[in-house]
Protein backbone atom coordinates (compact mmCIF):
# COMPACT_ATOMS: atom_id res chain seq x y z
CA UNK A 1 0.00 0.00 0.00
CA UNK A 2 2.99 2.33 0.27
CA UNK A 3 2.53 5.25 -2.13
CA UNK A 4 1.41 3.12 -5.06
CA UNK A 5 -1.98 1.85 -6.14
CA UNK A 6 -0.57 -1.26 -7.75
CA UNK A 7 -1.95 -4.23 -5.82
CA UNK A 8 0.40 -7.01 -4.88
CA UNK A 9 -0.41 -10.01 -7.08
CA UNK A 10 0.34 -13.42 -5.61
CA UNK A 11 1.94 -15.93 -7.94
CA UNK A 12 0.02 -19.18 -8.54
CA UNK A 13 3.23 -21.02 -7.75
CA UNK A 14 3.53 -19.46 -4.28
CA UNK A 15 -0.10 -20.26 -3.58
CA UNK A 16 0.35 -23.88 -4.70
CA UNK A 17 3.42 -24.17 -2.49
CA UNK A 18 1.44 -22.89 0.51
CA UNK A 19 -1.31 -25.42 -0.24
CA UNK A 20 1.29 -28.19 -0.35
CA UNK A 21 2.71 -27.09 3.03
CA UNK A 22 -0.81 -27.00 4.51
CA UNK A 23 -1.59 -30.52 3.29
CA UNK A 24 1.76 -31.83 4.54
CA UNK A 25 1.15 -30.25 7.97
CA UNK A 26 -2.31 -31.87 8.03
CA UNK A 27 -0.57 -35.19 7.40
CA UNK A 28 1.87 -34.51 10.26
CA UNK A 29 -0.87 -33.59 12.71
CA UNK A 30 -2.87 -36.71 11.79
CA UNK A 31 0.26 -38.86 12.09
CA UNK A 32 1.14 -37.46 15.52
CA UNK A 33 -2.42 -38.12 16.73
CA UNK A 34 -1.83 -41.87 16.38
CA UNK A 35 1.11 -41.71 18.81
CA UNK A 36 0.11 -41.47 22.46
CA UNK A 37 2.10 -38.67 24.07
CA UNK A 38 -0.36 -37.87 26.84
CA UNK A 39 -1.01 -34.18 27.35
CA UNK A 40 1.61 -33.29 24.73
CA UNK A 41 -0.74 -34.44 21.97
CA UNK A 42 -2.94 -31.39 22.56
CA UNK A 43 -0.04 -28.95 22.55
CA UNK A 44 1.49 -30.43 19.39
CA UNK A 45 -1.91 -30.37 17.63
CA UNK A 46 -2.48 -26.75 18.66
CA UNK A 47 1.03 -25.76 17.61
CA UNK A 48 0.62 -27.30 14.15
CA UNK A 49 -2.83 -25.72 13.82
CA UNK A 50 -1.29 -22.32 14.65
CA UNK A 51 1.39 -22.77 12.01
CA UNK A 52 -1.26 -23.73 9.45
CA UNK A 53 -3.43 -20.79 10.52
CA UNK A 54 -0.50 -18.40 10.15
CA UNK A 55 0.17 -19.67 6.62
CA UNK A 56 -3.48 -19.11 5.66
CA UNK A 57 -3.49 -15.64 7.24
CA UNK A 58 -0.19 -14.46 5.80
CA UNK A 59 -0.48 -15.78 2.25
CA UNK A 60 -4.07 -16.68 1.39
CA UNK A 61 -5.49 -13.77 3.39
CA UNK A 62 -2.64 -11.62 2.20
CA UNK A 63 -1.83 -10.21 5.64
CA UNK A 64 1.90 -10.33 4.94
CA UNK A 65 1.46 -7.67 2.25
CA UNK A 66 -1.07 -5.42 3.98
CA UNK A 67 -0.66 -2.02 5.58
CA UNK A 68 0.37 -1.60 9.21
CA UNK A 69 -3.19 -0.65 10.21
CA UNK A 70 -4.45 -4.10 9.29
CA UNK A 71 -1.51 -5.95 10.77
CA UNK A 72 -1.65 -4.16 14.13
CA UNK A 73 -5.43 -4.32 14.39
CA UNK A 74 -5.21 -8.06 13.72
CA UNK A 75 -2.53 -8.51 16.37
CA UNK A 76 -4.74 -6.49 18.73
CA UNK A 77 -7.56 -8.99 18.19
CA UNK A 78 -5.25 -11.90 18.90
CA UNK A 79 -4.09 -10.09 22.04
CA UNK A 80 -7.67 -9.73 23.29
CA UNK A 81 -8.35 -13.38 22.46
CA UNK A 82 -5.27 -14.23 24.52
CA UNK A 83 -6.63 -12.18 27.46
CA UNK A 84 -9.99 -13.95 27.15
CA UNK A 85 -8.37 -17.39 27.20
CA UNK A 86 -5.73 -16.74 29.86
CA UNK A 87 -8.00 -14.96 32.36
CA UNK A 88 -10.64 -17.66 32.15
CA UNK A 89 -7.98 -20.30 32.70
CA UNK A 90 -6.53 -18.33 35.54
CA UNK A 91 -9.96 -18.50 37.14
CA UNK A 92 -10.71 -22.16 36.29
CA UNK A 93 -7.31 -23.51 37.29
CA UNK A 94 -7.31 -21.98 40.79
CA UNK A 95 -10.92 -22.54 41.68
Partner 1 sequence: MSAASDETGKKLGMWLFLYTEIILFGGLFVLYAVYFHKYTDDFILAGKELNKYFGIINTIILLVSSFAVAASISAVQKNEKKTAVSALSFSLLCGLVFLINKYFEWSHKIDLGIYPNSEKLIDLPAGQNMFFGLYYIVTGLHGIHIIIGMTLLMVSLVLVQKEKINHSKFTLLENSGLYWHLVDLIWIFVFPLFYLVI
Identify whether the C-beta of residue 88 lies closer than 8 Å to the C-beta of residue 80. no
- Shortest reach from residue 31's CB to partner 1, in Å: 10
Q: In 1-95, which residue ranges form alpha helices assigned H by DSSP? A: 12-33, 40-55, 68-93
Whole-angstrom Cα distance, residue 46 to residue 24?
16
- Shortest reach from residue 39's CB to partner 1, in Å: 9
Identify whether the C-beta of residue 22 lies closer than 8 Å to the C-beta of residue 51. no
Whole-angstrom Cα distance, residue 38 to residue 45?
12
- Shortest reach from residue 20's CB to partner 1, in Å: 9
In the complex, the residues that contact partner 1 under the rule CB under 8 A are 1, 5, 7, 9-12, 15-16, 18-19, 22-23, 26, 29-30, 33, 41-42, 45-46, 48-49, 52-53, 56-57, 59-62, 67, 69-70, 73-74, 77-78, 80-81, 84-85, 88-89, 92-93
Amino acid sequence: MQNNNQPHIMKYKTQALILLCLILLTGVTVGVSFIDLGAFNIWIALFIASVKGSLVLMFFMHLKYESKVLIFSFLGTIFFLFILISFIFWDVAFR
